[in-house]
Amino acid sequence: MTSASMPCYDRPSPLTDADRAAVSARAVAAATRVADRHGIRVAEPVVLAERYAIRVHLRPAPLVARVSTFTALLRHPIDDWLARELDVTRFLHGRGAPVVPPSDLLPAGPHREDGFAISFWSHVASVSDAPPSVDVAGKMLAELHAALREYPGALPLLAPPLNDISRGLTRLEGMPEVIPAGDVAMLHRVADRLLPAVVDGTLPVQPLHGDAHVYNLIASARGYLWNDFEDTCLGPVAWDLANPNDPDNRMLSAYPGAPSAKTLEAFNRVRLLQGVVWVLALLPEVDEWAAHVPGMLDALRPFA
């Protein structure tokens, strides 16, 4: 099976724009068929976002399908990730937390259609593209963590870095056209040095959002709502507060009882490592951030 036909886990070939458009069209068609089987008429599907997954508003219904496309190349079986996301957000919504909830128009999933894993969500109209201030985001994250502490389900420990880094590096070992073998070896050394600092067992852990940056807050008519819990996991709260693009750690000032800047620094480094491995491993499919890779690699070389 080729990269364009999705999903595949073998050595990929770079996708053309036409290949990506074909994957998107298949994903939209798959989501539409699932909705149709549940009696939901889709007259005008509108793609809201498409990079590693596709979000499509199945108009006129207040229904959004999230179709896992390239994410599934590293996170297989992707169904487990989507099932955790749905369960956690359903729990939070039931307790009044500000989240985008799973749809109640049909079983939210995950569904399987044409090789894709699909989940369904309530459509929330965005009233602004502006993210919240770091003060608002920090306060909201503290409140979200308080609600998540009551979640009774089982979650994996730090699933995003522990899954994505190891699987991404394995994929990169067979992609010399993307990254030289010497740089793959360097990233392995960085992972061996940095990962123990975030999984050493001395920090308390709890359920997390997993990817709690400000762009995962949607500005709705009811206020900001947390979105995209695919990375939900168990871990120290520092993982949700880490942001290698915010070296001043501005969100910490609005987060009560925040971890120390030194603790956060270790998590920032692991987040950077996860980010560069993710971008590189999926570069044949999504080349949007290719220009950032050299700088990210250079930032990690001192830790090899």
What are the E-state strand segments in 92-221? Answer: 111-113, 116-122, 206-208, 217-220
Contact 278, 70 (CB under 8 A): no
pTM of this structure = 0.92
Q: Do domains 1-123 and 125-304 have the same CATH topology?
A: no
**Mean pLDDT, range 14-29, rounded to an integer:** 93
Homologous superfamily of 125-304: Aminoglycoside phosphotransferase (APH), C-terminal lobe (3.90.1200.10)
pLDDT the model gives residue 8: 43
What are the E-state strand segments in the chain? Answer: 44-50, 53-59, 63-68, 111-113, 116-122, 206-208, 217-220, 223-226, 233-235
pLDDT the model gives residue 261: 84
pLDDT tens-digit readout, 110-141: 999 999 999 999 999 999 988 888 888 889 99
258 vs 171, more confident? 171
Q: Percent of the chain having pLDDT more than 70?
A: 94
The matching CATH number, chosen from 3.90.1300.10, 1.10.1060.10, 3.40.50.720, 3.30.200.20, for 1-123 is 3.30.200.20
Q: Which two tokens stand for residue 132?
A: 């919240």
Look up tokens 């693009």; give the residue: 245
Going from N- to C-terminal start, the domains of the chain cover 1-123, 125-304
pLDDT the model gives residue 262: 86
